[in-house]
Amino acid sequence: MRLDLFLKAGRLCPRRSVAQRICEAGRVSINGSPAKSSHTVKPGDEIIVRSRNKLTNVRVVSLPTTRQTSRHDASTLVEVLNEESLESDRDTGAIRS
């Protein structure tokens, strides 16, 4: 299954077009390497998605069997390994010198 389709099915991205854009921007990696949206995802792969304010690390448990995935089924596709908030200095009010 293509990475962009998996990100949408696993509800890691709201739309396929968003998944494609973040892949093009180099914000998604599979097994430690930057990945294009057409990269094939397999069970056991580790995916890291970096959004504006969050870094999510998941392991692919299974692939969806249907085109549309329910919220419950989406949660069974991945195992969340780590999820951390990325705070910028602007958000925290810290002053850099």
pLDDT digits (tens, 9 = 90+) for 29-67: 999 999 999 999 999 999 999 988 899 999 999 999 888
List, for residues 66-90, the tens digit of each pLDDT value.
888 898 889 899 999 999 998 765 5
**Coil/strand/helix, residue 85:** strand
**Radius of gyration (C-alpha) of the chain in whole angstroms:** 14
Residue 67 pLDDT: 81
CA distance 23 to 81: 20
- The whole-model pTM stands at 0.84
The residues, any chain, with a CB within 8 Å of residue 20's CB and separated by 6 or more, are: 4, 37
Domains in the chain, ordered, with CATH? 3-85 (3.10.290.10)
Residue 93 pLDDT: 54
Report how far apart the first and last C-alpha atoms of the chain are (Å, whole number): 47
Number of neighbours of residue 45 by Cβ within 10 angstroms = 17
